[in-house]
Amino acid sequence: AVVLCAYLEMGSVDLRDRAVIELGAGTGLLGIVATLLDKLLYHLGARVTITDREAALEFLESNVQANLPSELHPRAVVKELTWGKDLDNFPPGAFDFVFGADIIYLEETFGELLQTLEHLCSEQTVILLSCRIRYERDNNFLKMLKGHFSVYEVYYDSNKDIHIYKAQRHSHKDD
């Protein structure tokens, strides 16, 4: 999350008044930083949905409340999202950006994660995933992702061994 936050801070991603969703947020650092950065740079504030499983929501909500100024609280919403479940609680294709930090590690969740990404993304949605490639299964997820999205590496932090991948839906115009 720290590496992806630093990447956002570099200014290569324009969050100006965009709809952002963070998957598997944990502490919510990435969603909090996205909300703060947009406010600092553009004085607008991205609409950020910060998600995780039900068990993490209480801590996540308290972290968001404690680390965002009160005027930004309406711009950052904490919601439950278990990948592959209750996706109808999220409008299909309604997000400009999907962020995920260190969410590619449990092979048994790869199918549900891919299903969730397909639901959340339109052709214009940009996915940014930061991860350390620990095992061959991590590469297997990237191969699965490439079956549905155009995927390429946009940044590598060699000190922390963290890759950032950008993905977007394949364009149907190419068919």
pLDDT value of position 174: 46
Bin 83: left if φ > 0, else alpha if -120 < ψ < 50, else beta: beta
Starting from the edge strand earliest in sequence, which strands make up the sheet with 19-23, in order? 76-80, 47-52, 19-23, 95-101, 121-131, 162-169, 149-157
Please give the Cα distance from 66 to 118 (Å, whole number): 32
Please give the Cα distance from 47 to 50 (Å, whole number): 10
CB 96 within 8 A of CB 126: yes
pLDDT value of position 126: 97
pLDDT value of position 163: 96
Length reported for the chain: 175
Domain boundaries, the chain: 1-169
> Is residue 146 classed as helix, strand or coil in its secondary structure?
helix
**CATH class of segment(s) 1-169:** alpha beta
Q: Tokens representing 16?
A: 């100006």
Positions of the chain with pLDDT under 50: 174-175
CA atoms within 13 A on the CB side of 61: 10
Please give the Cα distance from 62 to 65 (Å, whole number): 5
pLDDT value of position 4: 95
Q: Tokens representing 121?
A: 């993304």
